[in-house]
Chain A
Amino acid sequence: MPPLTDRYPLPVLQDPPRTGTAGAGERPRAWRSLEEWRGSPELARAAEREFPPGAAESLQGLDRRRFLQLAGTTAALAGLAACKKPAEKVMPYTHQPPDVTPGIPNAYATAWTPEGYAAGLVVTSWEGRPTKVEGNPDHPASLGATNHLAQALLVDLYDTTRVRGVKLRGTPRSFKTYLEEQVERARRLEASGGEGLWLLLEPSASPTRRELLDRIRQRFPRARVETYHALSRDNVHEGARLAFGRPLETRVRYDEARVVLSLDADFLTQGPFALREAREFAHSRMPERGAMSRLYVAESHFSVTGMNADHRLRMKPSEVERFALAVLGELARSHGLPGLERFRELELGWPEKVREVRAVAGDLARNGDRSVVVAGTRQPPRVHAVAHALNGALGSQKRLITLYEPGVDAGRGGPEVLRELAEAASAGRVDTLVVTASDPVYTAPVGVTLGAALSAVPNAVYLAFREDETAKHSAWVLPAAHVLESWGDTRAVDGTASIIQPLIQPLFQGLTELDVLSPFAGVADQPPYQLVKGYWQRRAGAAGPAFDDTWDQWLAVGTIPGTEAPGLPATVDVGAVDASVRAFARKPSQGLELNLLPGYKVHDGRYFHNAWLQEMPDPLTMLSWGNAALLSPRTAERLKLEPRDKVKLTFRGRWLEAPVYVLPGHADDTVSLELGWGREWGGDSPEPPADLGVNAYLLRHADAPWFADGLQVEKVEGHGRYATSQDHWSMHGREIALQDTLDEYEKKKPEYLQHLKGPVEKLYDPFKYGEPYQWAMAVDLNLCIGCGACLVACQAENNIPVVGREQVERGREMYWLRVDRYFEGSPEEPHAIPQPMMCQHCEAAPCEYVCPVNATVHSDEGLNEMVYNRCIGTRYCSNNCPYKVRRFNYLDYRPRVTELEKLGFNPDVTVRMRGVMEKCTYCVQRIERARIEARKARRPIDTEALESACAQVCPTEAIVFGSLHARDSEVAKRHRDPRHYAVLHELGTRPRTAYLARIKNPNPELEHG
């Protein structure tokens, strides 16, 4: 039977004719996928339906009627059996800890160490159970924000598949046995000066670890102490060594920059100071404050920073170097920058790019010391040196850049180290090997058979978080403590030191790196707490109770005052850079290029088992539960490839098969693959162990760690599998995510977007703003960088279940807040617009009128409330929601949650069951908690301090939350901003969430002609 809508056509909202799409015909102004851009009929049909095809069907062929029969019977039987519910137990403490009040969470400051450097955290703990990670507002590298990885730390903490207990070749041993044996072995090694002792460590800026290593080096002068990270920062350090004669870390003050040229640098999300730099960058993009910088990004794949570029200069990854040199030559030649005289002769002959090079160089020169060039970690040292030389000549090195002594060991920390280790171990020259680096066997490049070499080491010790590849080959496997279970210390790039304090006792007898190193440093009797405290006590030069107070103070604040390092003066050695530039032999890039990327969610592979990160859609591709071979539309067309085709990627004689994902805006003749995927998914998982993505390390070579030409692509039989949510919850290409150029905005300013705000015809009574608090949100699309931290923060705060790959494919993801990514322009050169989308809390909410049981109602403070216990699951509300933000629990996701994972639930939020609708609540649990505290103290709610989880985590403060009655609050100001608009304003829903249009600042020289 055809659907009723075919026989009785319903009146459908007629979209007003769009303007400004002349020549593009029916094409939408902003689009999410190539299918939508082409106007694919299947997609249009799918969008007609409220739920994606497959979402509403039940599992395993159980039809609706049968389900109702079963459900009815179950209910009847359950009704009989449930005369009495079982008594619930209450377990008070035997001795109540003094700092714990049941029902009131505590917050502790600590830090974690992505990429070796500190990012401050404040972790919420309920009766000893950490439940939510936030950034530490007092920490210079956090400023209160975190990235998506820090938000998902709890999943790893409560993971039941972690290594439990010390093991020697598979048999359990006690940690004491380990210590005794290693102390003994260290004594024997001491005789030979440490010959045959290798330490392969995770990069770390920990001062205590540094002290331990100094002791180890003293005791074992012939020992090899190396750091290793698959995504090492070697290029950064080597580039600085080339330019300044020594390795340095660069910190850029983007808030003062007017022009930024990024050479393949994803500085908004990567790098040890990214959170702060992202906020400062956002501060340079506020047209109402007269600040509007311009960002050029030269890159191959579409990065988050590329999403925010005013001009994305698409090129093969190897061409970025050539572009850097071209800009250098142009600035030396046409603009005569002082200090660059010797580069005047630099002529690369690149007719296709000459317009871009001229425009970028001109813009950089015009803005002098307020323009800055930054290079990405994937680019070779020469590019970094050129960037330093340019900043020196432009003057920005003095004005915008601070150089710091690297806190981590700056040496070769990449694949080269592994090769040496494998050679030494295979030759039997390694007696004792201590590995704390993350799974080097899995991340080792092609040709380094580290696994076999490791098996040959008699005393290989591996500090393992999971039973991974390295653990399989190591004699001793020690359980690694999670950072939230550890004592330690760390430093930020600017030197600020923090103490890492544990939130919980190690769940599986986990050990820290200090535990593992202590027998070799001769301090086996001291646990990490003593080591760290002892170190800082010596540094503070205090003792006794006086130091204890200081120590407590440090722990409370999360930073150690007075530890900031001064910026280092340095001058660029132009001669050295010149020599390096002259050595640049441009061999033309042949054919297709392989481009390996750091995993945005899985990092080097260490977060592969993190279900929150697995399910989180990638900011650009919207892929979850896997990676794919990314190609540009033109290259895909040339190779006759369609999305989801399976291709065989052959590189230097080795190959792997991957699904094709056609990414608009990707560089031509380049295939990008994220590293860190394709591992085994062990343990009790929501998915059967399957191939989640492909392991790109199989194509990684030590001499080509990131990109190289010579890739062959060949279509093979079958289809690849990936889950992408880019077409889910489509909104028919209406005016949703808006973007304009600065000039256009300035021109139209007084009446900007008038058709998307102001009064509309009303059918229902207007909302009364009687109550003292009127909750509202504002999302400034101009500040939003699209990183996706809000999405994971929302998941953590609101107990949102993970549904698994198959359910994502069916469109059943449960995110209350999704970050949509729209493209604007042509598929070859699109702009990307990220847009966080959550319940808009309409004052005239369409969902409320259709609920037959009043399960969704409006509060007098403007909240659209969802009452789970009333909901009977008709899904009418979702059907009537124009924003597609309501999520239905098709399945019961609770039984999969292990007892351990339950510890991480937020006790303030109901865990929903099957058959219930849910959606963003504006974090009403935080509102009510704040209200109760305020009412008890008989004062008004501090609406400025009250933040929703998404607003709190946002690195750029793109999302703000508060009360409209607080006229001077940021949220009220943004609701009056000329750039603000209501999504789908014409429907008259009067949403409480305002969006502020995204403003681009393109260079007129590149815009026209």
Chain B
Amino acid sequence: MAWIFTPRANTVARVVAVGLLAAPALGVFLLWAYARSPLAQNMRQPVAQPVQFDHRHHAGDEAIDCRYCHSTVEVSSSAGYPSVATCLNCHSQIWTQSPLLEPVRQYYFADRPIPWNRVHDLPDFTYFNHSIHVSKGVGCVTCHGRVDLMPSVQQAHPLSMGWCLDCHRDPMPHLRPLEAITSMRWQPRPGDPRPEELARLYDVQPRTNCTTCHR
């Protein structure tokens, strides 16, 4: 009578057994890893917009301050999106015939808002306030990345709760002088006030209670 199981069968059985045991753990691990991957967190994915607005040109080459368009960032929870009229402040004078700006003119003369696609989309139960962050020395680039290098804006950081809490627990590495709050290229130089001094100066006391963000 021939052997039903060849000697290799032992190895196969062991591999199968280990595999069966490992599969759930691996599955959980993969899910865990996926949830923390840039893909699941919507990171580094350029978002198409109804108007091909290029931050590289406006914020980079022309060095227009962020607050020219995002004008309520220092007073309101929302940084604010520019009204169509804001675009026309300049573009009624320059690039008045540019085909790239055709949609902007159309929206303006039709008195319709431009339906931008949101890039930094926090969950609706999370209440983020821009004004408190920029008044405590957290710069635009800290959360939004080098927008001046982005052809179309993408999310540079995870915007996950853990990422928020890292800074709320230890804001020191992320503080900068208020003069440089919108600067994209600012680096601490010798002689600049140290983070501890900035924290004292700006009265930085981040809170980590749930209701700080969830209400």
Point out residues on A near B: beta carbons under 8 Å.
85, 87-96, 101-104, 857, 859-861, 863, 865, 867-869, 908-911, 921, 924-925, 927-928, 932, 935-936, 938
Which residues 158-215 of B sit at the A interface, judged by CB distance below 8 A? 203, 205, 209-212, 214-215
- Decide: A92 and B81 in contact? CB cutoff 8 A: yes
From 122 to 146 in chain B, residues with beta carbon under 8 angstroms from any chain A beta carbon are 123-125, 127, 129, 131-132, 135-136
Whether the pair A935, B132 counts as a contact (CB closer than 8 A) is yes
Indicate whether A868 sits within 8 Å of B76 (C-beta atoms), given known contacts A90-B116, A910-B215. Answer: no
- Which of these, A92, A103, A863, A865, contacts B82 with CB under 8 Å? A92
- From A93, A910, A924, B113 is in contact (CB under 8 Å) with A93
For residue A101, which residues in chain B have a CB less than 8 angstroms away from its CB?
72, 75-76, 80
A93-B83 in contact (CB<8A): yes
Q: In the complex, A172 Cα to B76 Cα: how many Å?
A: 44
Determine the distance from Cα of A946 to Cα of B144 in the docked complex, in whole angstroms.
Answer: 33
Closest to B110 in A: A94
Given contacts A104-B75, A928-B212, A932-B131, A94 and B84 within 8 Å (CB-CB): yes
19 contacts between A and B (CB under 8 A): A89-B118, A92-B113, A93-B85, A93-B113, A94-B83, A94-B113, A101-B75, A102-B76, A103-B76, A104-B72, A104-B75, A859-B209, A863-B211, A869-B123, A909-B215, A910-B124, A910-B214, A932-B129, A936-B132
Interface size, B (range): 35 or more
Among candidates A88, A94, A103, residue contacting B107 with C-beta atoms closer than 8 Å: A94
Which of chain B's residues 52-73 have a Cβ closer than 8 Å to chain A? 72
Contacting residues, chain A, for B114 (C-beta < 8 A): 91-92
- Contact (Cβ within 8 A) A103 B77: yes
B112 at the interface (CB under 8 A from A): yes
**Known A87-B47, A90-B118, A101-B80; 13 more pairs at CB < 8 Å:** A92-B114, A93-B85, A94-B113, A101-B72, A102-B76, A102-B78, A103-B72, A104-B75, A104-B77, A865-B211, A921-B211, A924-B211, A932-B129
Chain A residue contacts of B82, Cβ below 8 A: 92
Q: How far is the CA of A860 from the CA of B117 in the complex (A)?
A: 38
Chain A residues touching B, majority SS = loop
- Is B211 touching A94 in the complex (CB atoms < 8 A)? no
Q: Which of A89, A103, A869, A936 is B115 in contact with, Cβ under 8 Å?
A: A89
Among B75, B117, B211, the residue within 8 A (CB) of A928 is B211
CB pair A104–B76 under 8 Å, yes or no, is yes
Q: Do A921 and B203 form a contact, CB below 8 Å, given A94-B107, A102-B80, A860-B209?
A: no
- A89-B117 contact in complex given A865-B209, A869-B125, A936-B131, C-beta closer than 8 Å: yes
Least Cβ–Cβ distance between B54 and chain A, in angstroms = 18
Chain A residues, CB < 8 A from B125: 868-869, 910
Residue of A nearest to B161 (CB): A869
Whether B85 contacts A89 by the Cβ 8 Å rule is: no
**SS of B interface (majority):** loop
B115 x A95 contact (CB < 8 A): no
A928 CB contacts on chain B under 8 angstroms = 127, 211-212, 215
What is the chain A residue whose CB lies nearest that of B121? A88
A90-B116, A865-B210, A936-B132 as given contacts; A925 in contact with B80, CB under 8 Å: no
- Tell me whether A867 and B115 are in contact (CB under 8 A): no
* With known contacts A859-B210, A925-B215, A936-B135, A95–B117 Cβ distance under 8 A: no
CA distance A865 to B213 in the complex (A): 11
A859 close to B123 (CB less than 8 A): no
B113, chain A: closest CB distance, angstroms: 4
A-side contacts of B85, CB under 8 Å: 93-96
Nearest CB of chain B from residue A905's CB, rounded to whole Å: 11
In the complex, which residue of chain B has the Cβ closest to the Cβ of A935?
B132
Point out the residues of chain A lying under 8 angstroms from B205, CB to CB: 935
Whether B76 lies near A89 (C-beta < 8 A) is no
What is the distance, in angstroms, from A842's C-beta to the closest C-beta of chain B? Answer: 16
Specify which chain A residues have a CB less than 8 angstroms from the CB of B135 in the assembled complex: 935-936
CA distance A491 to B72 in the complex (A): 39
Q: Could you say which residues of chain B place their CB within 8 Å of the CB of A96?
A: 83, 85-86
Residues of B within 8 A of A935 (CB): 132, 135-136, 203, 205
B115 CB to closest chain A CB (Å) equals 5
Give the CA-CA distance A662 to B118 in the complex, in Å.
Answer: 58
**B121 — which chain A residues lie within 8 A by C-beta?**
85, 87-88
Interfacial chain A residues near B47, Cβ < 8 Å: 87
List, in ascending order, chain B residues with CB within 8 A of A857's CB.
210
With CB as the reference atom, state the residue of chain B lying closest to A798: B215
Q: How far is the CA of A935 from the CA of B137 in the complex (A)?
A: 13
Chain A residues positioned under 8 Å from B116 (CB to CB): 89-92
The CA of A938 and the CA of B132, in the complex, are separated in Å by: 11
| Bound CA span A214–B156, Å | 69
Q: Which of A102, A909, A932 contacts B72 (CB 8 A)?
A: A102
Q: Could you say which residues of chain A place their CB within 8 Å of the CB of B111?
A: 94-95
Q: Which residues of A contact B77 (CB under 8 A)?
A: 103-104
Compute how far the CA of A919 lies from the CA of B143 in the bound complex, rounded to whole angstroms: 33
**Looking across the interface, which residue of chain B has its beta carbon closest to that of A910?**
B125
CB–CB B118/A859 < 8 A: no
**Chain A residues near B107 (CB, 8 Å)?**
94
Report the Cα distance A85→B210, complex, angstroms: 25
Query: What's the minimum C-beta distance from A203 to chain B, rounded to whole angstroms?
Result: 42
Chain B residues with CB under 8 A of A865: 209-211, 214
In the bound assembly, the distance between CA atoms of A755 and B44 in angstroms comes to 63
Q: Which residue of B lies closest to A909 (CB)?
A: B215
Assembly CA distance A401 to B110 (angstroms):
61
Collect the chain A residues with CB atoms within 8 Å of residue B115's CB.
89-91
CB-based contact B214/A868 at 8 Å = yes
- Tell me the complex Cα distance, A102–B124, Å: 16
Q: How far is the CB of B108 from chain A (nearest CB, A)?
A: 7
Distance of A865 Cα from B83 Cα, bound (Å): 37
Knowing A87-B47, A928-B127, the reply to whether A92 touches B84 (Cβ < 8 A) is: yes
Q: Smallest CB–CB gap between A915 and chain B, Å?
A: 14
The residues of A that contact B214 with a CB separation of less than 8 Å are: 865, 867-869, 910
Interfacial chain B residues near A87, Cβ < 8 Å: 47, 117-118, 121
Give the docked Cα–Cα distance between A93 and B78 (Å).
Answer: 14
B-chain residues with CB within 8 Å of residue A93 when the two chains form the complex: 83-85, 113
Q: Which residue of B lies closest to A916 (CB)?
A: B125
Of B75, B121, B125, most buried by chain A (CB within 10 Å of CB) is: B125
Distance (whole angstroms) from the CB of A796 to the closest CB of chain B: 16
